[in-house]
Structure 1
Amino acid sequence: MVPEPVLTSTHALVSVAPRPRPEDAWGLAPLIAGAPSYRLGRWIGQRFQYPRPKNAPKITRSLPRHPAAVMVHGTDGRVSTLCLDFDTSKALKGVVDSDAVRVGRLLSECGVRFVEDFSPSGGRHLYVPLHDRMDAAEARELVEALALMATSLDPSPHQNITDGCIRVPGTAHKSGGHQTLITPLSQAYDILRRRNPASALLELRSALAPELTRKRALKARAAKTVAEQRTGILPALPLNAGSEAPLRKVARTGLYDTARYKGPSEARMAVLNHFSACGWSLQDIENELTGQFPGLAALYGTPQRQARLLPYEWTKAQSLTSNQTLQKRLPRKHRKKSAPINNTSPTLTTGGAGKLSSAGVQQLVNDLENVLYAVLDHRLQARGRQGLSLRLLIRGLLGYMRAKETDVLDVGCRTLAVAMGKHHVTIARLLPVLVAASDGILTKVMDARHKAADVYLIQLPEQYQQLARELAWRKGKIHAIRPVFRALGDATALVYEAIERGRHSPTTADLVRASGVSRNACSAALAEMEALGMVQRQGHAWKTTTVNLRMLAARLGVMDDYLDQISRNRNERAAWHAYLDRFRTPKVEETDLFDLERDEYWIPPDDAAIWHAA
């Protein structure tokens, strides 16, 4: 008989033979469990739980009649199987299936074999047997790293050493039915008997390097927050208070507020309006449906429905948001540079001979880059850690200069802080230092007033003009802090730039001289970037790879901090503008004091009328 494909399974083909009986599938329990015992589940209040019994029953050949779960950890605190629980309580079933397929594909690419089953509620389990028992902390780190790339993955079985448990194939479900084995029984038995060697886990760790780095950073931040709360520096706040936008959470999980949206159609349109207002394209949406936003795809139900409705709904979302953002998103060369003839409104500026052309600005930026690499970088290196920030700040200003095609910048500290990944107070402190250290390249020409920011002029001083002409322009674009380097640090950004924009493939010694960082910092940055797949070593030289830095930043969790900073800046800016509006003197028109259609002039009464009124 011809095998049939199972699209919702990570195993591509299964036999058409009937599913194994629950009693037969239960025979795999001793090979999955971390300890030879299980717990029976029961309702406690409104929750179905697996309480700790006084004497835990041993795993035998007979299938428990009631819902049962085996222990993940052994008495030694180690695990023999990684248990990945994809739960429908965390996301829609479509997201659960998508996450299981994605994680299963990753495991297969790393040479890791696993067993798979599904529950009557739509959840999925993947069991990764280990040849050598693993410490609980190490197993938890791996599972939590996988949870960062799969929204519906519940890491709680590995987060509790004493009570972590999971239902295995064949066990009864609380709502009826049994846990059904997807992997053929003979194949599952072979996988659980042979198990996965340590080399396969090393390959998996290498593939999960961005997620592991992100998880360690989150733990360090949480520990720092707890320490500051204990000392009274910070108020007591919940550590799990996230800053993710509600609509992006809907796109990620597919779960929406039924009190706000009547159904999936309204929730989809709200998400699409959000992405349209943020400047996304239809291609970006389609790429992320199988990436970080599978919940949006699950809201469509079927791929056929998605293919039919997505273009139509995206066009509708664009028409709703284009009126407010069209002029803002148009390139500068397509915008109107003059106002129509109108006697009731002032004419807009049209430019003049004193303004640099677009090509002139680009040439000026290229010349300033030569001066930066040849002179200014070496001067700022002597300032230590502050010099790193100053070097990246001048790069950010040159990047804005190239993007805005002007040598006069009125960029606020908060905008620069978002580009630099730093606090706006730090930017405000660094700007005057950079003006003094730039030797005439950066000059402040106007102070901030009301809602307008400080105005700076960027120019090429006369003493550097000959040097700029003699040096050849470098390839590529100059950047301040690209999102991925928010997690990796300033020194790593400079080392990567030295490799990316170098005139030849540099060695480690060349990178130390070009980047201006210490040998130890350079070696640590290279090791970290090599682990993340950003650079590779060929002989003694270093080269960049084709890795997508934007996708890597998303895997490192940088975009959450980026959106949080933008939201915080928006709120602070709105509060400042509201404060300024309190001191605005409104213009009072004559019509506000007198009504022209009402006769307010009256003749004073005579003396007789006064005495009569008295």
Structure 2
Amino acid sequence: MSLEGLRLEVKRPTSETDTVAELQQTRRWYSAMRAAESYRWTGARGLTIRRVLRAVLKAAQLRHSMVIDFGIRHLALLAGLDESTVAKILRILRDEADPFIDLVRAHHGDRADTYRLLIPQGYAEAAAWRRFQPGRLGGIHPVFRMLGSPAAFLYEHLPTDTPTSRFELRSLTGLSATAVSTGLLALAEEGMAERVRGGWVRGPADPGDVATRLGVPELVKRIIAKYRRQRAEWRRFLAVVEAFGRQDIHLENHPIPLQDIADAGPPPWMEAEPHGPPSLVGAGISAEP
């Protein structure tokens, strides 16, 4: 089901009741996704897909809506991944036979692609009956840029008190035995997981403190600065394209000859997001972990 190409008015929740209903629906979507992820998306690429899905979920919770218009770079920050990787994964997800997301409106001007979160028919029962997970959902903490995907999914399920065995963690996360061992080792080395009698629990280390120690905030700030430079390049290119259609253009306003820019074409990074990066302002994005 695709509504791409149609004029579509995307409505936000207009009342507290609508907002609550939409947030409940995002939790149902999460339940359906959790029921599917261990079997539907496997291997290394499967872990990447699962990170992107959590970024999509986080965007939906920030918007209080099952319809989101976050750009690829926003989702990349929420997933802790490169933006080109996120662009590829979104194409894979929306092309699935029974998709969890649908592209309902393509980008236009400063507006990003708009996606609707879908609960596939095959997972509707799981969405309806699976117990909701309490607390905040979605997104990948920036520290897992360094610690990796297995550590991220294990940390989701590690309890703070009752120990969980490796076998149980494999069942909960859908990770292989090797991935569980790798992830637990990464967490334990940073104090975020501890082996105790009966299994594993979360360690005392705070993810934010670990991220700071590993230099993650500085890394994220550099990424955001890159995105802002790319947006400036994109706007300049669009201005040049527009200027070629005008008769009153003043060349002195353009330090680089217009023809040189036109001949060079758009910056190469636009291949992943041809319409350019939407603004980072107002999307709940922070350089802090």
TM over 0.5: yes
In structure 1, how many angstroms separate the alpha carbons of the residues matched to 2:83 and 2:126? 34
SS at match of 1:574: helix
Task: Please list, as runs of the form range in 1=range in 2, the aligned pairs for 1:48-197 lying within 5 A after superposition.
Answer: none
Contact kept? 1:512, 1:518, Cα under 8 Å: yes
Contact kept? 1:535, 1:544, Cα under 8 Å: yes
| Counterpart in the other structure of 1:566 | 224
In structure 1, how many angstroms separate the alpha carbons of the residues matched to 2:29 and 2:159? 18
**Deviation (angstroms), 1:527:** 2.1
Residue number among 461, 473, 477 corresponding to 2:136 in the alignment? 477
Going from structure 1 to structure 2, the CA distance change for 1:405 and 1:352 (only over 3 Å counts) comes to: closer
| Counterpart in the other structure of 2:192 | 534
Contact kept? 1:508, 1:541, Cα under 8 Å: yes
SS at match of 1:432: helix
**Deviation (angstroms), 1:456:** 0.6
1:52-84 Cα deviation digits (max 9, x unpaired): xxxxxxxxxxxxxxxxxxxxxxxxxxxxxxxxx
Pair 1:367-2:28 in alignment:
yes
Going from structure 1 to structure 2, the CA distance change for 1:410 and 1:545 (only over 3 Å counts) comes to: same
In structure 2, how many angstroms separate the alpha carbons of the residues matched to 1:438 and 1:495? 29
Give the strand-richer structure, 1 or 2: 1
1:577-609 Cα deviation digits (max 9, x unpaired): 121122337999xxxxxxxxxxxxxxxxxxxxx
Residue number among 554, 568, 580 corresponding to 2:238 in the alignment? 580
Contact kept? 2:143, 2:216, Cα under 8 Å: yes
**Deviation (angstroms), 1:433:** 0.5
Contact kept? 1:475, 1:501, Cα under 8 Å: no
Higher relative contact order (CA 8 A, sep 6+): 2
**Deviation (angstroms), 1:386:** 0.9
Q: TM-score, normalised by structure 1?
A: 0.36
Task: Please list, as runs of the form range in 1=range in 2, the aligned pairs for 1:362-441 lying within 5 A after superposition.
Answer: 362-381=23-42, 384-437=43-96, 439-441=98-100
Amino acid of the structure 1 residue aligned with 2:116: L
Pair 1:552-2:210 in alignment:
yes
Identity %: 25
| Counterpart in the other structure of 2:107 | 448
Give the helix-richer structure, 1 or 2: 2
Contact kept? 2:163, 2:197, Cα under 8 Å: no
Contact kept? 1:450, 1:580, Cα under 8 Å: no
**Deviation (angstroms), 1:481:** 2.1
| Counterpart in the other structure of 1:94 | none
Contact kept? 1:389, 1:490, Cα under 8 Å: yes
1:18-64 Cα deviation digits (max 9, x unpaired): xxxxxxxxxxxxxxxxxxxxxxxxxxxxxxxxxxxxxxxxxxxxxxx
In structure 1, how many angstroms separate the alpha carbons of the residues matched to 2:21 and 2:160? 22
Amino acid of the structure 2 residue aligned with 1:378: Y
SS at match of 1:426: helix
Contact kept? 2:150, 2:180, Cα under 8 Å: yes
Pair 1:357-2:15 in alignment:
no
Contact kept? 1:444, 1:455, Cα under 8 Å: yes
Going from structure 1 to structure 2, the CA distance change for 1:513 and 1:392 (only over 3 Å counts) comes to: same
In structure 1, how many angstroms separate the alpha carbons of the residues matched to 2:65 and 2:129? 24
Going from structure 1 to structure 2, the CA distance change for 1:395 and 1:500 (only over 3 Å counts) comes to: farther
SS at match of 1:569: helix
1:494-542 Cα deviation digits (max 9, x unpaired): 111122599x642111112222222122112212212211112221221
SS at match of 1:579: helix
Contact kept? 1:484, 1:550, Cα under 8 Å: yes
Q: What is the Cα-based RMSD across aligned positions, in Å? A: 2.9
Residue number among 151, 154, 175 corresponding to 1:492 in the alignment? 151
Q: TM-score, normalised by structure 2?
A: 0.73
Structure with bigger gyration radius:
1
In structure 2, how many angstroms separate the alpha carbons of the residues matched to 1:559 and 1:432? 29
In structure 2, how many angstroms separate the alpha carbons of the residues matched to 1:402 and 1:353? 15
Amino acid of the structure 1 residue aligned with 2:18: S
In structure 2, how many angstroms separate the alpha carbons of the residues matched to 1:409 and 1:546? 35
In structure 2, how many angstroms separate the alpha carbons of the residues matched to 1:449 and 1:569? 19
Contact kept? 1:481, 1:490, Cα under 8 Å: no
In structure 2, how many angstroms separate the alpha carbons of the residues matched to 1:488 and 1:438? 33
**Deviation (angstroms), 1:463:** 4.3
In structure 1, how many angstroms separate the alpha carbons of the residues matched to 2:13 and 2:157? 38
| Counterpart in the other structure of 1:516 | 174
Amino acid of the structure 1 residue aligned with 2:210: L
Amino acid of the structure 1 residue aligned with 2:205: V
SS at match of 2:137: coil
**Deviation (angstroms), 1:483:** 1.2
Going from structure 1 to structure 2, the CA distance change for 1:438 and 1:370 (only over 3 Å counts) comes to: farther
